[in-house]
Structures are given as structure tokens and as C-alpha cells.
């Protein structure tokens, strides 16, 4: 972050800050932050089947896509210059088990979609969410015993899940589970399986947030989740703890770190980027997307402008990239605005 003297060198009337804002060319010339399609990772929800494009009620404009439709999305991403997709699987109640075994099935929905995409659009990066919540019948990210989410036992399964995902062709392994020690264990597991080149993006500062609501509907977790995730996700009251989480994940071998949610946590994004200078990503989560869409549908805000402003704000705070459901829409808007 830029450290500059706060006091201006000249004063009014010699100094008029409105001077630079008068014209479009001048505003463009003096813009300090820029958003490009290169900054975006497109969040995609998967569903089993063929030719499936099923709307998610709480995420207007977002569809659950079958693997063949995800391939179409990947082609669109390539066309729009979006570097990578982040995939998340929908699982219905019948497909879920207490131990979430489907997570380590090499032929699960995530792996099939990754293989299909890599076969046709290998130039687009693929990011895999690592956690058990799409697969457990209690909707938690880890194994549960007597109401407790088990840490070390969960980490062992997450390592297997990561290796299976790397085998399917995922380029970025992104543990979102918030178990302690999982980044180091996953790095070791990937290396031992010959996946030294596969990256880890740690959901390092992930908060126990109400803004994940629509996502849980999207992946089929909302009806099944028992209780909340406050014993493993961070307390929204805390900032220093985010620094400790990020330090730990980087020390364990994370290539990049993430702050999640986004807009309500821009202070954390700025602090993390400032303290570590590591590649720092931010997740504009489902509830943030839904807020903008809902207000726009009611005619209360300009949806396109609010989308672009929110994405630019992440860059201004110091984020190197943004995981967002808006990626394709924003990339299209960026394309149109190039004169």
C-alpha cells in the first residue's frame, strides 16, 4: 500500500481537487486502480446430468450447470479472458452421508466436470473447493462426532480429496474448511503424489458469516446444516486472528491466500496484503451477489454500476483477484467499455 504524506503540498485556491475530475479522459488518466477480466475467478455451481441449467432462486442469473454446460461456461470464460473457474458441487440429501465419502470418489461430480473441461478448454485454470460440506448429511465441512467437528481426522480426508481433485485436472486446490494444519498436510500429500506444480489457495481468513446463505441453497446444504460453523470459521469481531491464520497458511506452503466474505471485510483484505505482500484473493460471496441483484431487481440501485464498483473496491483494498459469481457479466461489461 502507498504510504504518502496526508497533508497536501498546496492549498485552496491554488489546489483544486475537482480539476482532475472534470473530464472523462482526465478521470481515466488519473485512475489509480483498474479492474480487468484477468482479475476474475468465475464461481460455478455444478449439478449432475446433461444439458442442465437450473436457476438458483437466491442467486438470480446463476445456474446449476451439468458438466457439459460447465464446458460451455469454460469456453465463454476463455472468450472473455477470464483466467480461471472455481467449481462447487450441488448434492441432494440422498447423496449425502455422515462421513462425506463422495468427497474422495475419483468419479464424483467435481472430478467429472474437471476432466470434461480440461479435455476441451485446457487453457482455463480450474480451482477446486476442498471441504466436506457438499457431501455430509449434517452439512458441516468436517467429520462430526458427538456434535464436535473433528480436526485431525478431517484433515486426513481433505488430503485424499485434494489428491483426487489434482488427478482429475484441477490446477488450484482451495481448502475452505478452516481445519488447523490442513494446508501443510495437503501440500505434503500433493507432493508425494507427484503434484508439485498444483497450487494451493488457502481460504485463510474465512469468517463464520451470514452472507453464505444463498450458496448453501445452491449446493443443497441449507436444509441439512445442523447448527452453525462458529467452532471452525472465524469470529467477525476479529482482525488480528486473520493475520495469524494467514501467517500459518503461508508458513505451511500456501501459494496464495483468500479473505472471505469480501465487501464487509475490506479492512482485512487491506491488512493482509499490507502485512504479507503475498498473492491475496477475496471471495465476493453469494450473499453479497444476492444483495446487489435483489436491490437492482427492485429498481433501487443500478445493478451494473454496483457490480463494477464492488469489484473495483476489492482491487483498491489491495486484492490481486476476486472470486465472484459476477465474473462473466463483469467481463462482458469491461469488454463493452473498451473504446
Residues annotated as part of the active site: 206, 260
| Cβ-contact 85, 75 below 8 angstroms | no
Query: Where along the sequence are the contacts to ligand PBG (CB under 6 A)?
Result: 129, 131, 133, 141, 176-177, 212, 215-216, 229, 285-286
Give the separation between CA 199 and CA 133, rounded to whole angstroms: 22
Give least dist CB 18 to ligand PBG, A: 39
Give least dist CB 55 to ligand PBG, A: 16
Nearer to ligand PBG, 121 or 290 (CB): 290
* C-alpha dist (Å) from residue 19 to 7, 28, 41, 277: 18, 13, 36, 34
* C-alpha dist (Å) from residue 255 to 249, 251, 262: 9, 10, 20
Give least dist CB 5 to ligand PBG, A: 40
What pairing do the DSSP bridges indicate for beta strands 84-89 and 144-145?
unpaired
| Cβ-contact 41, 85 below 8 angstroms | yes
Nearer to ligand PBG, 121 or 216 (CB): 216
* DSSP tag of 261: S
Nearer to ligand PBG, 170 or 212 (CB): 212
Question: What does the angle CA 194 – CA 245 – CA 258 come to, to the nearest 5 degrees?
Answer: 70
Nearer to ligand PBG, 105 or 291 (CB): 291
| Cβ-contact 331, 81 below 8 angstroms | yes
Give least dist CB 232 to ligand PBG, A: 9
Nearer to ligand PBG, 187 or 216 (CB): 216
* DSSP tag of 61: T
Give least dist CB 262 to ligand PBG, A: 10
* Residues whose CB is less than 8 angstroms from the CB of residue 93 and which lie 6 or more positions away in sequence, other chains included: 137, 220, 223, 224
Amino acid at each position: 500500500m502507498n504510504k504518502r504524506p496526508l497533508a497536501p503540498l498546496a492549498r485552496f485556491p491554488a489546489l483544486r481537487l475537482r480539476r482532475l475530475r472534470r473530464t472523462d479522459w482526465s478521470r481515466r488518466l488519473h485512475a489509480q486502480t483498474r479492474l480487468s477480466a484477468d482479475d476474475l475467478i468465475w464461481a460455478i455451481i455444478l449439478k449432475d446430468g446433461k444439458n442442465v441449467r437450473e436457476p438458483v432462486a437466491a442467486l438470480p442469473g446463476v445456474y446449476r450447470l451439468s458438466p457439459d454446460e460447465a464446458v460451455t461456461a469454460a469456453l465463454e470464460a476463455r472468450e472473455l479472458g477470464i483466467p480461471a473457474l472455481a467449481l462447487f458441487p450441488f448434492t441432494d440429501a440422498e447423496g449425502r452421508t455422515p462421513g462425506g465419502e463422495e468427497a474422495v470418489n475419483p468419479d464424483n461430480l467435481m472430478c467429472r466436470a474437471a476432466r470434461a473441461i480440461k479435455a476441451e478448454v485446457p487453457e482455463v485454470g480450474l480451482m477446486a473447493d476442498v471441504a466436506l460440506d457438499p457431501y455430509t448429511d449434517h452439512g458441516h465441512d468436517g467429520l462430526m462426532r458427538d456434535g464436535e467437528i473433528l480436526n485431525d481426522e478431517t484433515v486426513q480426508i481433505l488430503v485424499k480429496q485434494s489428491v483426487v481433485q489434482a488427478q482429475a485436472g484441477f490446477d488450484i486446490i482451495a481448502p475452505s474448511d478452516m481445519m488447523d494444519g490442513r494446508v501443510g498436510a495437503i501440500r505434503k500429500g500433493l507432493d508425494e503424489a507427484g503434484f508439485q506444480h498444483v497450487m494451493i489457495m488457502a481460504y485463510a481468513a474465512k469468517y463464520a458469516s451470514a452472507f453464505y446463505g444463498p450458496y448453501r441453497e445452491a449446493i443443497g446444504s441449507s436444509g441439512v446444516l445442523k447448527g452453525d460453523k462458529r467452532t471452525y470459521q472465524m469470529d467477525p469481531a476479529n482482525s488480528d486472528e486473520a493475520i495469524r491464520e494467514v501467517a500459518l497458511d503461508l508458513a505451511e506452503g500456501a501459494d496464495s491466500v483468500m479473505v472471505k466474505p469480501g465487501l464487509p471485510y475490506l479492512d482485512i483484505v487491506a491488512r493482509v496484503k499490507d502485512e504479507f505482500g503475498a498473492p491475496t484473493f477475496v471471495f465476493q460471496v453469494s450473499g453479497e451477489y444476492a444483495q446487489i441483484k435483489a436491490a437492482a431487481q427492485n429498481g433501487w440501485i443500478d445493478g451494473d454500476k454496483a457490480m463494477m464498483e464492488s469489484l473495483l473496491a476489492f482491487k483498491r483494498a489491495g486484492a490481486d483477484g476476486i472470486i465472484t459469481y459476477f465474473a462473466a457479466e463483469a467481463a462482458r461489461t469491461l469488454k463493452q467499455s473498451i473504446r
